[in-house]
Structure 1
């Protein structure tokens, strides 16, 4: 399809027999060019950001950003590479840079049309001269009545526009960025993006993970970042998830990722409070690509392999692309790294977090004495009678992923094109957890070892027995998922209006099974009075020796109490949209762009546990009731870009961007969100931008309709500290200081209101004319969020201890120990985040030693104020770490940065990347003392070579964490004594990749 139409003679297919009909020419222009703008002539210097890896895509970007039509044969430029062009230069200089080292030339046919052609046409080759190209297409002859052309969509706007410099900062991870990173999952790729911090999930989270991966911008929860595919929503994680699983998107299908670091509810609706991650899939691909990847760590584990096969071609009236891949990742076990080998990190400067559920039974007697089984007798408990559960656990979860993705396009006419996408992906992950612990006093239904039990030698009811059932194998949590997606788009141009009509459908299904857990009902009977449990033959009950030493539970006893927990669920989304946009010409300051549209979607989710889990009858897994819910959403939006002023030279201008979206939800009501932005260009080298946006996040279906959920939550109980006894009203007796997990019941709330926010940003983009190829930017940001949905057992316990509040939600036993905390979802929290984003791009002019580029960015969080209640004091979390398992928001370093150096020369390509995470502070468990988590700096290198004998054969060698920098100790971290969401446990990892393109 030609992305231009005209009032004039019709283009006749077949005039140029050497070109495929669907690839006759590509003519792309920055949105609705204004004939009076000085920047539209090839000799006027303007700022370009062209970073496409292939020449065809680079020429398209040049046309979009310059406002000049470029005519070229796709067959001629299809497989040619392109250097980057960034800086304030003339279009002539940009074209010369792009066509350097090729056999192509260019010619200006008139002020608005450039033809790219083969230089050796005169040598008898089958090609056309620039004049023949234009004469074959009378639509482009100068003096035509009028030609309409339009640009492309950029994340953060529904308006087609030229360039990517809008009112808000957008990071773009292009296909070369993805290749040079060596990342094999999107979660791994996004982990080191400077704006990403907080509690993002990945396979590096074993206990508390479910095989999924999420992204968290600005330290806000993953539900506050909207993840799109090609600008459209997809279903969340299948287990009633509140965000999209990045592991359900195969990297081989991705062309680029655009990260909008600004509130965007006025453009996209709910969830875009922290920003938007828009995954753009690959379309412009011709030929066959076969690729294989293999990597492993310096310790010989985390073996990772990927096999990919891709095929793309042109069709008589369209195109077709398909890619399939298989990915396998082996585990890392906690015991195989020094920092994570033991839950007792005191030798490393940390604390002892081992469990009081020991393989030898630990028993509290009515006299107040605590004893532990030792052989055939018992002895008093010591401080070292604790269990190192990390000797069993996996640190990085093994993962398998199979995926297939395909898309096709069809040109129905010169001005109407259809697109179709279809994808299917399966994942399997299996986490290994320590054998099941039993805390008889702290289950939802307390367990009592009866005085009449045949295995009770004390002659009294034993209410607090702690035992690690190492006779059982380690628990295995297996997660399987299937993600399917289909979308169809029809778009075109009619009477100066760009329009599209779209339908999209997606469904994510997930299953989780946990083995090696305990049937609580059977255990209660098995440790009860002997008369109620006389043996498998007598009454089908086997008494269990819970009070003996390790190994005292026989196979028959284990067979009676062992259980398996299962849960399955799905999330699905379907909807349609209609969008229209156009430009209004003739205004003194330039064109005015407008866009408006309507969207409708239906969301549904369901999560069903097995009977044992639903009846809260297991130990060692999360017990919960069924969750299900559905809703419909109707939305309308309006957006405009209004030029307020433009200088006579065209180098300086002032534009206003405005947008408004109205959303109507069937379950909680309606919401309206506006956005305003100013772009003030002070000449060709300086751009100022300012934004204001209101945002909202609709409560997720899980937050609204979640059934009662039982878990052993990590809570810092103030009453375990002797200094608080008597000084805090809620602490009458000192609780057991060896416990840090407590029974908690959480659930949904159908009366929740949406979270709301106000976002502000102010930025500067500088492209100094004295430094060719250099671009610098700095943006200040602020996010104020209200009515945050929270289910904080920690807050309830703290308030109960300090003032006696929430007495009906906190239960303690006669010894002062927490036995139950109830914490359903409520709108209670507030957050304020302030900071700055910095970015650097410098493409050094090509020299004899090759082309160098420097690309970097940094995020600085000045202040992160959070409070769980409007009456509670604000806590500044900037530069702190608090694990999600303890209801924290994870690691929020004040500084996070990355800097990359790239080099290209002939057949060689190299990359040197630095990732930096700043120092953080954490609260030492069971104390009020803080300690520093060291800053972390790692270096990644990669080298590529394309073989001369076979132009499409490329070999890649790479090393991540070249100097094997160890992850810093985080003594309060639940998993592996490190912040696995921010740092990496793996250490040095090498990899190789070989690809063949035909």
Structure 2
């Protein structure tokens, strides 16, 4: 973890006049320390093994902690020699550059410049040097270092610590984590909590993966790829599917934990996750990965091929990978095999739709079908659906990625990126349940139906159709992306123009569900269903025990529901930036630009789902929407004060963004930050930012959606009947799913926020290599979009309100809830982030690095509307299936120890999640979900027999710590978004690089 920006991939030094001409010359700067000097006499153990000199210099920079700047034009075609052993940084550079015609020089006491040797004092003027020595010329009076844009800024920086904290997951950390998907990688980041989705969410998931910072919904975190927006999930989603990004092609991930609407626009209320893809790669890599749990399931494989090379005037990188993951079934883990957790202090959440028909008779009796007739129903006549479900969904991802750059001239560079990803996930769900009384159009077993022995109309029949094949939900997606950019110089300005397109297409097919129209006819009056010879209708026995549904009956009522959709984004933008010299406290920087964006989405159900004619899948109307966005931004960094010795300084950062949306109007969002350094060892920072989130196209234009939502009905508790105004009769306590109608609202306005943070970064001189950080934050969010059916039910029961939105039958049972999107909610989240990064001095045992991060949520106040009380969700869990925001632990932390020695490299990581409280379903009892700690370890070795061959062995959850019980969780009795069900997991990875 780091509170500073990642090592920057592009850097441009030179004199002021020279910098104006060479700003976009291809070069690379990797900086981990602003104070380390090349002249340090301390020897470091280096393992530098790369086919090209540019890659070798990158490795040297990472291992030494020094900033090294060089031109890709100079090093592009030069091979590299292997460097293994103890050297001073100066000696290591001399070894690498021997025989190349290149030399190095220390500039500004903190940056090493590599340049073409032989110039010295006899150098020609800078214009001639531009062609011969494109990045650095020794002997010039001033040197400026320009970097690339770091996450959270439009201004190019190098080795920069900004006004807000940024966590960086660099390539080595990603590799040492063993994660094979970004959702898995980000799950344990301390700042991540709440309702992130992944393939660990089966019932209610769709095969996608999202990230949620600070416990805010996924649509409050902006996900970028190389600093650019991409299309959301194809089924009218409002968040980017992380499963569409292959980790093998990722260079690093930067997580900005602060509102950034002034920099990036909408959706960045909680922060930004910027995925930086690989570019500097030389040679050919073939890699294979295999892993499985100790119990023999969740077999996971990844095959990767990558190729990169330098071209005479550019570079090329290609990557292809295939990822496959087998399932875990709920029945194969102790904690998840049964929905009845009363023995562990929980609740019985088994379903009242049983394989043997459960029938409520008009005289008030409830009976269960048996082979010999019927018997009275008991409280134990319930169905354990978790004996059938997948806990982790089988998943396959095929990914292609390519990038190229070309230098048209010294002042003009072009870049292009192309990617394509296919994903396929298939969840297994319990057999379809039928609740005849609680469909949008109720079903009635007619008195004269040939299978009705009671000879009266039966309104409430519950039956689990175990005669059907497994109910399966298959989600497939195709995601394509293209980004192109031109970067150049004009007078004192650097400029860039970019065009970006992405499209996500997705389909969902639900098989072995029920055609409700056919079932209505099949259980209706005998005259309306006389058999195929007469009217193509097959009478269905819904009243018998398991096994009595004949194949012909099952075929008649069984159906498959389908839905397809897409999300598409086009954007074009132009920006300019420059340095402003002559200020008393130093150089200022300014950037401005504009962006035009077009977004569109469509979700189209098949005929059955569109006509609300299925049971066992979501029925809904089509969704279609589009918008255009025009935005202008301005950003500056201004030095306000600097001490005479230059060691103390005060800087101001300011940004402003104006956005014009075609569907709701305009908004302007500012950001102001102060950075004060009283000396090299301490940085103090404070930040204010205004934020907004435009309502998603789905929230605006979603058609009416029918859903069986998990709700807690206060009227099913006897103590509330006759006491609460809305509870006039006792509802059926055996039910926990209720028909809910939701929909969009074209009149929605943006969610808005104000964010504050204050923090420090401490790098004590007496403890070399140590960096400590602490940042306190507060987010206040207004006009939150909400469509809470649970809130409507609670308010109706407790106060008698929302009478037009809540329907109950004559027996007091909740029949229907109507909910639609409204701007009514508020949130206030406050807490702190703590960081540790300690690189110990090299010794005979090797190089050790300790890093850790902790997130503390002090309060999470949520309010449904102005009339409702505020509820503090910090340290609590409420499942998304019950309209909650998921698990929000007060404390979440991770601590890692990395080790390097010669050809060995190892990692030991500890992940900790604090305990959380939850309300036991169908009661007023609260219980604690236990704290959870897991240990991950990995060891790898680079062979010297076959140059470039590396073997990695790893174990996740080394001590097989079981996920803690969460009795209110819909999926598998655990919070699958916070904890993991898999247990101990072994894996190995073998890679060969040429």
TM-score, L = length of structure 2: 0.92
1:27 and 1:281 map into 2 onto residues whose CA distance is 15
Deviating more after overlay: 107-116 vs 340-349:
107-116
2:951 counterpart (955, 961, 965) = 955
- Which residue of structure 2 lines up, in the alignment, with residue 18 of structure 1? none
* 8 Å contact from structure 1 (residues 601, 634) kept in 2: yes
Q: 1:360-371 alignment to 2 at 5 Å?
A: 360-371=356-367
Q: 1:413-562 alignment to 2 at 5 Å?
A: 413-562=409-558
2:181 counterpart (172, 180, 185) = 185
* 8 Å contact from structure 1 (residues 829, 869) kept in 2: yes
- Which residue of structure 2 lines up, in the alignment, with residue 108 of structure 1? 105
- Which residue of structure 2 lines up, in the alignment, with residue 56 of structure 1? 57
- Which residue of structure 1 lines up, in the alignment, with residue 705 of structure 2? 709
Q: CA deviation at 1:317?
A: 0.4
2:549 and 2:331 map into 1 onto residues whose CA distance is 26
Is 2:580 the partner of 1:580? no
- Which residue of structure 2 lines up, in the alignment, with residue 984 of structure 1? 980
Q: CA deviation at 1:870?
A: 1.1
2:662 counterpart (660, 666, 669) = 666
* 8 Å contact from structure 2 (residues 577, 589) kept in 1: yes
- Which residue of structure 2 lines up, in the alignment, with residue 840 of structure 1? 836
- Which residue of structure 2 lines up, in the alignment, with residue 89 of structure 1? none
Distance change >3 Å, CA 108–CA 319, structure 1 → 2: closer
Q: CA deviation at 1:3?
A: 3.8
2:902 counterpart (899, 906, 909) = 906
Is 2:377 the partner of 1:376? no
1:936 counterpart (928, 932, 937) = 932
Distance change >3 Å, CA 525–CA 12, structure 1 → 2: closer
* 8 Å contact from structure 1 (residues 707, 748) kept in 2: yes
* 8 Å contact from structure 1 (residues 4, 27) kept in 2: no
2:393 counterpart (389, 397, 403) = 397
Is 2:572 the partner of 1:571? no
2:172 and 2:287 map into 1 onto residues whose CA distance is 15
Distance change >3 Å, CA 596–CA 847, structure 1 → 2: same
Distance change >3 Å, CA 175–CA 80, structure 1 → 2: farther
- Which residue of structure 1 lines up, in the alignment, with residue 966 of structure 2? 970
1:166 counterpart (144, 159, 162) = 162
Q: 1:707-856 alignment to 2 at 5 Å?
A: 707-856=703-852
- Which residue of structure 1 lines up, in the alignment, with residue 606 of structure 2? 610
Is 2:628 the partner of 1:632? yes
1:98 and 1:363 map into 2 onto residues whose CA distance is 82
Distance change >3 Å, CA 905–CA 497, structure 1 → 2: same
- Which residue of structure 2 lines up, in the alignment, with residue 293 of structure 1? 289
* Residue-by-residue CA offset, 1:750-796 (whole Å, 9 max, x unaligned): 00010000000000100011111100000000000000001100000
2:889 counterpart (888, 893, 914) = 893
SS in 2 for 1:729: coil
- Which residue of structure 2 lines up, in the alignment, with residue 176 of structure 1? 172
Distance change >3 Å, CA 619–CA 97, structure 1 → 2: farther
SS in 1 for 2:609: helix
Q: CA deviation at 1:921?
A: 0.4
* 8 Å contact from structure 1 (residues 357, 386) kept in 2: yes
* 8 Å contact from structure 1 (residues 360, 374) kept in 2: yes
SS in 2 for 1:833: strand
Q: CA deviation at 1:161?
A: 1.3
* 8 Å contact from structure 1 (residues 792, 823) kept in 2: yes
2:78 and 2:123 map into 1 onto residues whose CA distance is 16
Q: CA deviation at 1:4?
A: 5.5
Distance change >3 Å, CA 907–CA 138, structure 1 → 2: closer
2:40 and 2:219 map into 1 onto residues whose CA distance is 45
1:815 and 1:723 map into 2 onto residues whose CA distance is 17
1:679 and 1:642 map into 2 onto residues whose CA distance is 10
1:737 and 1:60 map into 2 onto residues whose CA distance is 65
* 8 Å contact from structure 1 (residues 82, 98) kept in 2: no
Distance change >3 Å, CA 189–CA 81, structure 1 → 2: farther
Unaligned runs of 5+ in 1: 14-21, 31-37, 85-91, 119-126
Unaligned runs of 5+ in 2: 1-9, 50-54
* Residue-by-residue CA offset, 1:715-765 (whole Å, 9 max, x unaligned): 000000011011100001110001000000000000001000000000010
SS in 2 for 1:807: coil
* 8 Å contact from structure 1 (residues 5, 415) kept in 2: no
SS in 2 for 1:513: strand
SS in 2 for 1:566: strand
Q: CA deviation at 1:164?
A: 3.3
2:276 and 2:28 map into 1 onto residues whose CA distance is 21
Q: CA deviation at 1:102?
A: 6.2
SS in 2 for 1:723: helix
Q: CA deviation at 1:266?
A: 0.3
2:107 and 2:541 map into 1 onto residues whose CA distance is 92
* 8 Å contact from structure 1 (residues 8, 145) kept in 2: no
SS in 1 for 2:401: strand
1:324 and 1:279 map into 2 onto residues whose CA distance is 17
SS in 1 for 2:804: helix
SS in 2 for 1:739: coil
* 8 Å contact from structure 1 (residues 765, 777) kept in 2: yes
1:391 and 1:341 map into 2 onto residues whose CA distance is 6
Distance change >3 Å, CA 429–CA 66, structure 1 → 2: closer
* 8 Å contact from structure 1 (residues 601, 633) kept in 2: yes
1:595 and 1:917 map into 2 onto residues whose CA distance is 41
- Which residue of structure 2 lines up, in the alignment, with residue 322 of structure 1? 318
SS in 1 for 2:386: helix
2:271 counterpart (270, 275, 296) = 275
* Residue-by-residue CA offset, 1:293-343 (whole Å, 9 max, x unaligned): 000000000000000000000111000010000000000000011110111
1:384 and 1:304 map into 2 onto residues whose CA distance is 39
Is 2:694 the partner of 1:698? yes
SS in 2 for 1:735: coil
SS in 1 for 2:219: helix
Q: CA deviation at 1:582?
A: 0.8
SS in 2 for 1:853: strand
Q: CA deviation at 1:58?
A: 5.9
CA RMSD of aligned residues (A): 3.1
2:360 and 2:464 map into 1 onto residues whose CA distance is 15
SS in 2 for 1:613: helix
* Residue-by-residue CA offset, 1:228-263 (whole Å, 9 max, x unaligned): 000000000000001000001111111000000000
* 8 Å contact from structure 1 (residues 83, 98) kept in 2: no
Q: CA deviation at 1:69?
A: 7.4
- Which residue of structure 2 lines up, in the alignment, with residue 17 of structure 1? none
2:824 and 2:158 map into 1 onto residues whose CA distance is 43
1:860 counterpart (847, 856, 860) = 856
2:208 counterpart (183, 206, 212) = 212
1:879 and 1:115 map into 2 onto residues whose CA distance is 48
1:176 and 1:52 map into 2 onto residues whose CA distance is 14
Query: When the two structures are aligned, how many residues end up with a matched partner?
Result: 963
* Residue-by-residue CA offset, 1:885-909 (whole Å, 9 max, x unaligned): 0000000000000000010000100
Distance change >3 Å, CA 68–CA 471, structure 1 → 2: closer
* 8 Å contact from structure 1 (residues 526, 541) kept in 2: yes
Q: CA deviation at 1:130?
A: 8.6
* 8 Å contact from structure 2 (residues 656, 669) kept in 1: yes
2:83 and 2:831 map into 1 onto residues whose CA distance is 38
Deviating more after overlay: 611-620 vs 342-351:
342-351
* 8 Å contact from structure 1 (residues 78, 286) kept in 2: no
Q: CA deviation at 1:112?
A: 8.1
* 8 Å contact from structure 2 (residues 743, 821) kept in 1: yes
TM-score, L = length of structure 1: 0.92
Q: CA deviation at 1:348?
A: 3.1
2:224 counterpart (224, 228, 235) = 228
* 8 Å contact from structure 1 (residues 256, 281) kept in 2: yes
